[in-house]
Amino acid sequence: MRLALDAASTALGRTAPNPAVGCVLLDSHGQLVSVGYHARAGTAHAEVHALAQAGGRAAGGTAVVTLEPCNHTGRTGPCTEALLAAGIRRVVYGTVDPNPIVAGRGLARLREAGVEIVGPTLPDECERLIMGFRTWVLTRRPRVTVKLAASLDGRIATASGESQWITGPAARADVHGFRDCHDAILVGAETVRRDDPSLTARLEAPRDDHQPRRLVVTTRPRSLAASLRLFGPTLAAGTTVAAPAGSDASHLSAGGATIWALPADERGVSLEALLDRAGADGLTSLWVEGGGRLVASLLARRLVDAVVWYVAPRFIGGDGLPALGPLALSVLADSPRLVRVRVTPLGDDLRIDGDVDYMGSGYSTPTSPKTQE
């Protein structure tokens, strides 16, 4: 199963709206025959990819697959039928497909045909592979992970705006790994104006030429200069600007950027509408890189699923730019907290990541400040 997990992980960020899945085939003697994975939506599923390499050697053997085989016809045929046609007699699965049109039906079909079913096997690891897909298939919105990098006193820049670099090279390389395995990166307009980022995944050993989509949310698209990196000839085609319906973003669309005209109020663009639109475009995972007011707005609306926080061993001071905008909390028990927390040393820095738990977070969102400019 770990071999199947490794195979699936090579396609993270590339399969949306489908999940990343890996499959290992063993022959009737338990010897490795082939390894497959789902590369992109519309291409062969992991089981079919592995079967194509195996030829007839998998007959009477075992399929080890990270996700329950599908039993329906979409852009490709059902994997259950492909496994049965190949003579697979045993299936070891990692986790059940959360898609309501699958959800146990694939395993039931295989059992009915006399295939031995074993599992779930390494379900936690297999679930981590499909967290974005699970969120998307149940809510039609992407899973939202917020990234923050701050000093020990919670600052992301000095009073003059200098922020490069708070964290060290190991932490920054880690960020690029996260970018690479997400479908899209979201930032606010303030971050774009201040840092002029490219928002690309720059890996030491890239797997392919894949780059995540780049999303910018703004209430005033005219405040974004067409000369910024995101709107230049290299990056504009992969950049989307979410702006209030009726606002003028023609100078950005003229350069190739996509414009989403979304509902807005006095606080800015509706972040719920933004996530709905992202989900409608098939995006299953969203990596948010700020700024602090955008992150606070997402938290206040309970739209953040997970947080990855990099802490650098330095102090910037109270006059520096805070990592997080106001949440208007008056009771500590109402504050969102992280659960299933993991702490990972990265050089001199620490990465703290976990899922967001809103239980008891009773603050209301209508009084949240403007957060996108």
Taking all residues of the chain, what is their mean pLDDT, rounded to a whole number? 92
**pLDDT for res 301:** 92
**pLDDT for res 292:** 87
**pLDDT for res 360:** 55
Q: What are the backbone dihedrals phi and psi of residue 309, each rounded to the nearest 5 degrees, phi first?
A: -115, 120
Same fold, 2-130 and 140-357: no
**pLDDT for res 361:** 47
**pLDDT for res 220:** 95
**pLDDT for res 18:** 95
Q: Please list the rounded mean pLDDT of every run of 10 residues in the chain (373 residues).
A: 97 96 97 96 94 94 97 82 97 95 92 96 96 96 97 91 89 96 96 93 87 97 96 96 96 97 91 98 96 91 96 94 88 89 97 89 38 50
pLDDT in tens, 178-194: 999 999 999 999 999 98
**pLDDT for res 373:** 52
**pLDDT for res 372:** 53
First to last CA, the chain: 46
In this structure, which CATH number among 1.10.3720.10, 3.40.140.10, 3.90.1150.10, 3.30.70.330 belongs to the domain 2-130?
3.40.140.10
DSSP string, 187-248: EEHHHHHHH--------SS-SSS---EEEEE-S-GGGS-TTSGGGSTTTGGGEEEEEETT--
pTM: 0.90
CATH dotted code for 140-357: 3.40.430.10
Catalytic residue among 47, 68, 190, 289: 47
**pLDDT for res 72:** 77
**pLDDT for res 363:** 38
Per-domain residue ranges of the chain = 2-130, 140-357
pLDDT in tens, 322-337: 999 888 888 888 889 9
pLDDT in tens, 246-288: 999 999 999 999 999 999 988 889 999 999 999 999 999 999 9
Q: Is 47 a catalytic residue?
A: yes
DSSP string, 103-134: TTHHHHHHHHTT-EEE---SHHHHHHHTHHHH
Count of all residues that appear for the chain in the document:
373
